[in-house]
Chain A
Amino acid sequence: AQRVTQPEKLLSVFKGAPVELKCNYSYSGSPELFWYVQYSRQRLQLLLRHISRESIKGFTADLNKGETSFHLKKPFAQEEDSAMYYCALSKGSGGYQKVTFGTGTKLQVIP
């Protein structure tokens, strides 16, 4: 069974400090990993996906198959980064199928 683990419910950092939101997964096949974000009073939306290897709003995430991790990183946190972040796994290659979400991490950037 696929599983996504986000060990931190809350992460507080000061503005300008580096951010790392941890995500570990378990899946026997080739997963597709995503990070979703939910800002206050807004809907859940895609932040980035591992297959694109892109940087969005300064965030990056590298898939480490050896460690089965997909940590989200940003070198300098901004106040507008405060939100709930969900790591998600979709089984299958390139196909949207059943998506498993982590429990989420609330990022709080302190001014």
Chain B
Amino acid sequence: SAVISQKPSRDICQRGTSLTIQCQVDSQVTMMFWYRQQPGQSLTLIATANQGSEATYESGFVIDKFPISRPNLTFSTLTVSNMSPEDSSIYLCSVEGRMNTEAFFGQGTRLTVV
């Protein structure tokens, strides 16, 4: 299994500002994933981040709004830019299992934009 540390665990931010969420894994992984979970909604994949290449974004998500870094095989960041109240969500980092058949998750970042 993989142990994922995600921080901050929660934050309250002013609209128009940006927040960077960090995700640290205790082992090297090829793919890292960022999800958003809006209140009462399911997890929605934002993007997939591979080390050494640009992140692949899902429909409805763009790099300008959610820039992602993946500097090495154990770390990634997701930035939520120019925040509005609609960005209030839980953001989750995830990695694939060794057998590529399950996902491991960070504890999530609860973001509130006021």
A residues in contact (CB < 8 Å) with B: 4, 32, 34, 36, 42-46, 49, 51, 86, 88, 90, 94-96, 98-99, 101-104
Contact = CB atoms under 8 A, between A and B. Distances in A.
Nearest to B105: A44
Given A96-B31, A101-B43, A32 B101 contact: yes
Nearest to A51: B101
Nearest to B100: A96
Given A43-B108, A44-B92, A96-B31, A102 B42 contact: yes
Interface residues of B, number: 22
Given A49-B102, A94-B101, A96-B102, A43 B107 contact: yes
A34 B100 CA distance: 13
A95 B31 CA distance: 12
B42 A43 contact: no
Query: What are the 5 closest A-B residue pairs judged by CB atoms, nearest first?
Result: A96-B96, A96-B100, A44-B105, A101-B43, A103-B42
Nearest to B56: A98
Interface string B27-53: 000010100000001110100100000
